[in-house]
Structure 1
Amino acid sequence: MDKLEFEDLLERLCQRLSKESRDSDEHHKPSKFEARVRTVMGELLVGTGQEAAPNVDQGFPDIVVGKFGAEVKATESNSWRCIANSVSEGQRSLAVEQIYVVFGKFGGIPEVRWASYGDSIMHVRTSHVPRFEIEIGTENSLFAQMGTSYEEFRQRPMHEKMPYIRDYARGRLKPGERLWWLEDTELDEAGHSLPLEVRSILQLSAEEKKSIRAEATLLVPKIFSPSRSRNKKGAYVDVAMFYMTYRGILAHQTRDFFSAGSVGENGATGDYVRDATNRIQDEMRAAALYLEDALFLEYWGYVPERSSVILDWLRLADEMASDWTPSDELFLAEQGKS
């Protein structure tokens, strides 16, 4: 099978999966979608002498067909953009010469598209490890910005990739921002645990502060624990670590960011954390849709269904609060209360 034949197969695959996804939501979950892609690809390969084999090492890409590979991605949002694989590609199949991405977009009008994996990479971000971000149809390839190609970049060892990433990050810095990685170092596959750009929380606009407070409140319901409890102390550590490792924000006094009078002023109860949360319900609703599954897994211990994030959060918050019941006051519409 040559390149044109494999791309024709991908086109037929995506046409079929697009129709299926509009007729039924049975395979909209990422884990189910990958299995369905492999099944349909196998059916289309009948009679070609090829088969759609999984990457037996659970590595990269997800599916191997001879010298070609397909990395499967899916999102329940109305976007062609998502986080992709580690920059290191440490578990890449050696048999694969060219990789494509098969992307299922199940928000809005469901559709499945394919594209060259390298051409779809448009950003590199760091949370726990440097990871690519892809967008189907992007006109601004990351590697064009870096002055190299995906094929050339991927073959370099990690310590040779980092200068490209730092130069790219420097070009995106805003006034007052600094790179966190300053020196060339030999990095292992895990990379670095902190983002490249770090800002003080004092530099943020009022809207940015409100947004990241909503994110942290959603991820860390322990902030409603009694003031002298171990959970309360741990909550602010969790928040500070989230801001530093995921948002690149240095929070000097995390407790004050949630409990100072300025964030809950003019509230009905006089409990600043409680009143402040009442004021960020819309921001929390938004965060419930865009925060990554990996964050919920890290902070909650499991990945909730997107449709039930708010209700799950209310249950967790009710368990933590001792002198009030969050579900009596917050997100009443989601609970079917007037």
Structure 2
Amino acid sequence: MIISVNSNPDSSEFGLLLSSTISELNVQAQKSSEKISTLLGRSLEPYVRDVMSDLATGTPFENSIELIGGQKFPDIVAKKYYGIEVKTTTQNHWRTTGNSVLETTRVESVERIFMLFAKLANPMEFRCRPYEEVLSEVVVTHSPRYLIDMNLESGETIFDKIQIPYDTLRKKDNPIKPIIEYYKSKLREGEELWWIGQEDNGKASNIIVKIWNSLPAEDRSILKIKAMAYFPELFGSSNDKFGRLALWLITSESVVCPNVRDLFSAGGKGQVIINGKTYGNISRIFLNLFENLSQVVETIISTPATELSDYWRRHTTEKGKLMDWIDLVDIQGQKIRDAKHLNIKQMLTDLIFKK
């Protein structure tokens, strides 16, 4: 890690220092390509430090650049104001995974950051651009990170897409939220956000992935109850009605279930008695709902309306979420041939609000 001990920024001199540093690095890449090609990752940082220190002689940055350890961001800090993040690739392109969106390790005093990118494949080349101008998207490894593209055109950064400047976003208490909202707005049918969606509700996805049948019976029961609360389309007739549930099990609960349909549809039809009236020829998925209705209702009540709005893909409120869920299930139930003889809305209302 590299940090400066000086203070007052000087924009023009720093711009000249960056330009001369890149020029010198490219000259040395031609003269000593074998040596530089071995400087991967952090190995390049002290090399860049030495080049910058030599070129800083006679400038306001002379004797101010130091190499330090740790995981701080960015890698080079000059006069406690300017920063350079150093990235390398051995591939013949200008893209790589960047730093965390959260920037929890950022040097606090740094205001302007530049990306110094070393392409160590033939032909070897160094480039440098303002940090916020080369961040095209957000991708996920173990946390949301920026995707760096040194060839990115003007107006195509992730900040242009979410319509929030980089400096504004990074200073937010929750910089992930606007990014989540942007990617959610781009979802197509059958798509869900992986991991990143958890950032908005305080949950974390388990790093260990489990097979459904390996779960304890109690855990399987809890997940089925949540599924009936969160995914009203389960009670409809769509061919892909289990798709979002399957994605949710993987992305939110770290559970792989090869036979999601069987969880709700396996078994024959039956009957249920509500307020003394017997309803027959009821499909298994509705029998499962009626048998677990109190737990489903409890789940809906305990889940924030904002979270339910995401699951249901329609706005709901704390006051109206229970009736909204009944309406959604009823709408789906009307699409099933075997449920056309039933008034699902009335049945659920009678069971939930029974006198």
Output the TM-score relative to the length of structure 2.
0.51
State yes or no: 1:150 paired with 2:166.
Answer: yes
Distance 1:43 1:174, change over 3 A: same
> How many residues are matched?
198
Question: Matched residues in 2 for 1:63 and 1:12: separation?
Answer: 16
Give the 3-state SS of the residue equivalent to 1:25 in structure 2.
helix
Q: Deviations over 1:254-303 (max 9, x none)?
A: xxxxxxxxxxxxxxxxxxxxxxxxxxxxxxxxxxxxxxxxxxxxxxxxxx
Shift of 1:184: 3.2
Shift of 1:138: 0.8
Superposed, 1:243-258 pairs within 5 Å as 252=257
Q: 2:76 aligns with which of 40, 63, 79?
A: 63
> What residue identity is the alignment partner of 2:23?
Q
Distance 1:179 1:53, change over 3 A: same
Q: 2:65 aligns with which of 26, 40, 52?
A: 52
Instruction: State which drifts further: 18-27 or 176-185.
Output: 176-185
The answer to whether the Cα contact below 8 Å between 1:55 and 1:64 also exists between their aligned partners in 2 is no
Shift of 1:194: 7.8
Question: Matched residues in 1 for 2:206 and 2:23: separation?
Answer: 40
Distance 1:55 1:168, change over 3 A: farther
Superposed, 1:317-332 pairs within 5 Å as none
Corresponding residue for residue 184 of structure 1 = 200
Question: Matched residues in 2 for 1:112 and 1:63: separation?
Answer: 16
Aligned CA-pair RMSD: 2.8
The answer to whether the Cα contact below 8 Å between 2:134 and 2:149 also exists between their aligned partners in 1 is yes
> What residue identity is the alignment partner of 1:175?
E
Distance 1:39 1:172, change over 3 A: farther
Q: 1:166 aligns with which of 180, 187, 206?
A: 180
Q: Deviations over 1:31-61 (max 9, x none)?
A: 3222211110111111224222235543000
Question: Matched residues in 1 for 2:181 and 2:98: separation?
Answer: 21
Corresponding residue for residue 35 of structure 2 = 26
Q: Deviations over 1:79-137 (max 9, x none)?
A: 11111111111111112111111100112311101000111111111121111111113
Question: Matched residues in 2 for 1:250 and 1:145: separation?
Answer: 33
Superposed, 1:107-256 pairs within 5 Å as 107-139=121-153, 140-157=156-173, 160-180=174-194, 181=197, 184-186=200-202, 192-193=204-205, 252=257
Question: Matched residues in 1 for 2:185 and 2:110: separation?
Answer: 33
Distance 1:55 1:147, change over 3 A: farther
| Residue identity (%) | 32
Question: Matched residues in 2 for 1:41 and 1:183: separation?
Answer: 39
Question: Matched residues in 1 for 2:256 and 2:34: separation?
Answer: 41
Q: 2:120 aligns with which of 98, 106, 110?
A: 106
Distance 1:182 1:40, change over 3 A: closer
Corresponding residue for residue 204 of structure 1 = none
Give the 3-state SS of the residue equivalent to 2:71 in structure 1.
coil
The answer to whether the Cα contact below 8 Å between 2:90 and 2:121 also exists between their aligned partners in 1 is yes
Shift of 1:252: 4.9
Question: Matched residues in 2 for 1:65 and 1:138: separation?
Answer: 26
Structure 2 unmatched ranges of 5 or more = 1-8, 208-249, 259-355
> What residue identity is the alignment partner of 1:119?
E
State yes or no: 1:35 paired with 2:51.
Answer: no
Corresponding residue for residue 10 of structure 1 = 18
Structure 1 unmatched ranges of 5 or more = 196-243, 254-338
> What residue identity is the alignment partner of 1:146?
I
Question: Matched residues in 1 for 2:161 and 2:109: separation?
Answer: 28
The answer to whether the Cα contact below 8 Å between 2:65 and 2:78 also exists between their aligned partners in 1 is yes
